[in-house]
A and B are shown apart, each in its own frame.
Chain A
Amino acid sequence: MADPQLMDRMFQLVMRSLIETGRARHYAELARTLGCSVEEGRQLLLAVMQAYPIGWLHPDTEYIASFPPLNNLPTQYRVTVRGEQKWFAQCGFEATSVTWLFPGATVRVEAPCLDCGEPVVVEMRDGRLLGVEPRGTVGHLNYGFGASRGRPPYL
């Protein structure tokens, strides 16, 4: 079991690199920041992903694909903050949680509807919905929660 304090630090480094640059840093870079060896950094990342199973590594790699609410791998859920679009939300549900990563800022989520391709736009600030376009926009869970019900990216 990895040191919980080190895991907390690794978690915050990953999350904050995503917030600052739109990209999650590689464990080898994070290891340097943490003052540990590359292998210790790799083990720490694996421990963090195990403790945070709502995120995942790209299959057969140790590259961070998803670290919700943001995604390192682009999705259709484009996130714009202060006029800059450099983030992607993990999914439509997590998109409504991105607001908590940008206190005081308006977070705009724009995605094409998977039926017609026309846009769905949601704007939030500090957890409050500022606007939803079109007004009839809904969230939908296609397989139910739980590992046995479907692959996480397609829930």
Chain B
Amino acid sequence: MNLFRSEEHTRRWPLFNPRAEEGFISLAELAAFFGTETRHHMLDADYLSAWFPKRAAERRAFLERIGKATPFWLGTPSPP
């Protein structure tokens, strides 16, 4: 999960995974993805018990909104 100066720079990275063409995300989408509601509560006393468990559903909903609801992004098994 890295930041690169451009998509071209990413593809030139020696460790670039050719199967990760769908792995790009804009900075605006990334900031929104990692800025969903639960993240606003990381300093709350009950973050671990009350907020963190809601994170997976929130992430899934966000990925669906931006058209990235694929196994690659959702962390679900790939189809056979």
Contact = CB atoms under 8 A, between A and B. Distances in A.
Interface string B1-16: 1111111011011011
B13 A115 contact: yes
Best-surrounded residue of B1, B17, B43 (most CB of chain A within 10 A): B1
B45 A140 contact: no
Interface string A53-77: 0000000000000000100000001
Interface residues of B, number: 44
A120 B3 contact: yes
Contact of B31 (A16, A115, A129, A143): A129
A127 B34 CA distance: 9
A135 B79 CA distance: 36
Given A137-B3, A140-B2, A48 B16 contact: no
Interface in A81-126: 91-97, 99-101, 103, 109, 111, 113-116, 118, 120, 122, 124
Contacts, number: 169
Given A51-B52, A52-B48, A100-B42, A113 B31 contact: no
Contacts of B26: 138-139
A91 B33 CA distance: 14
Contact of A139 (B1, B9, B45, B48): B1
Contact of B12 (A115, A118, A145): A115
Contact of A142 (B17, B39, B71): B17
Contact of A122 (B3, B16, B73): B3
Interface of A: 4-5, 7-9, 11-12, 15-16, 48, 51-52, 69, 77, 91-97, 99-101, 103, 109, 111, 113-116, 118, 120, 122, 124, 127-129, 132, 134, 136-149, 154-155
